Amino acid sequence: MSGLSVKLKTPHTGEYDQPTGLFINNEFVKGVDGKTFEVINPTDESVITSVHEATEKDVDIAVSAARKAFEGNWRKETPENRGKLLVNLANLFEKNVDLLAAVESLDNGKAITMAKGDVGACVGCLRYYGGWADKIEGKVVDTGPDTFNYIRKEPIGVCGQIIPWNFPLLMWAWKIGPAVAAGNCVVLKTAEQTPLSALVACNLIKEAGFPPGVINVISGFGKIAGAALSSHMDVDKVAFTGSTVVGRQIMKAAAGSNLKKVTLELGGKSPNIVFADADIDNAISWVNFGIYFNHGQCCCAGSRVYVQEEIYDKFIQRFKERAAQNAVGDPFHEKTFQGPQVSQLQFDRIMSYIEEGKKAGATIETGGNRIGDKGYFIEPTIFSNVTEDMKIVQEEIFGPVCSISKFKNKEDAIKVGNSTTYGLAAAVHTSNLNTAIEVANSLRAGTVWVNTYNTLHWQLPFGGFKESGIGRELGEAALDNYTQTKTVSIRLGDALFG
User: Among all residues, which ones are annotated catalytic?
Assistant: 265
| Bridge partners (DSSP) listed for residue 40 | 47
Burial of 43 (0-12, 13-18, 19+ CB in 10 A): buried
Query: Is residue 47 within 8 Å of residue 234, measured between CB atoms?
Result: no
For every residue of 136-185, DSSP letters joined together read ---EEE---TTEEEEEEEEE-SEEEEE--SSSHHHHHHHHHHHHHHTT-E
Contact pick of 222, 357, 380, 471 for ligand NAI (by CB under 6 A): 222
Q: Which is nearer to Mg ion, 190 or 430 (CB)?
A: 190
As measured in angstroms, the least distance from the Cβ of 469 to ligand NAI is 8
Q: Under the criterion CB under 5 A, does residue 104 sit at the interface with Mg ion?
A: no
Considering only the stretches 46-54, 103-111, 145-153, 223-231, report the one whose residues sit in contact with ligand NAI under the rule CB under 6 A: 223-231
CB 19 within 8 A of CB 7: no
Q: Is 273 in the site for ligand NAI (CB under 6 A)?
A: no
- Tell which residue, 112, 111, 107, has the closest CA to residue 46: 107
* 294 membership: H or E segment, kind and range: none
Separation of alpha carbons 16 and 385, rounded Å: 50
The verdict on 221 binding ligand NAI (CB under 6 A) reads yes
Which are the contacts of 447, defined by CB distance < 8 A and separation ≥ 6? 300, 424, 425, 426, 456, 460, 462
User: Is residue 107 involved in binding Mg ion (CB under 5 A)?
Assistant: yes
**Binder of ligand NAI out of 242, 329, 375, 423 (CB under 6 A):** 242
Q: How many CB atoms lie within 10 A of CB 114?
A: 21
Segment contacting Mg ion (CB under 5 A): 38-46, 96-104, 125-133, 484-492? 38-46
Burial of 444 (0-12, 13-18, 19+ CB in 10 A): middle
How far is the C-alpha of 334 from the C-alpha of 336, rounded, in Å?
A: 6
Answer yes or no whether residue 136 interacts with ligand NAI by CB under 6 A.
Answer: no
- Regarding 299 and contact with ligand NAI (CB under 6 A), the answer is yes
Task: Kindly indicate which of the ranges 142-150, 262-270, 307-315, 402-410 contains the residues binding ligand NAI, using the contact rule CB under 6 A.
Answer: 262-270
162 near ligand NAI, judged by CB under 6 A: yes
- φ, ψ of residue 151 to 5 degrees: the values are -120, 125
Interface with ligand NAI (CB under 6 A), residue from 216, 241, 272, 442: 241
Q: Would you count residue 226 as binding ligand NAI (CB under 6 A)?
A: yes
Q: Which residue is nearest to ligand NAI (CB)?
A: 222
Give the one entry of ligand NAI, Mg ion, none that residue 107 binds, where binding means its C-beta sits below a cut-off of 5 to 8 angstroms depending on kind: Mg ion
Answer for which of 106, 246, 401, 479 binds ligand NAI (CB under 6 A) is 246
Using CB distances below 5 to 8 A depending on partner kind, what does residue 403 bind out of ligand NAI, Mg ion, none? none
294 φ/ψ sector (left φ>0, alpha ψ -120 to 50, else beta): left
Binding mask 316-355 for ligand NAI (x = CB under 6 A): ------------------------------x--x------
Please say which residue, 341 or 483, places its beta carbon nearer to ligand NAI.
341
Binding site for ligand NAI (CB under 6 A): 162-166, 189, 191-192, 221-223, 226-227, 230, 241-243, 246, 249-250, 265-267, 299, 346, 349, 396, 398
Binding site for Mg ion (CB under 5 A): 40, 107
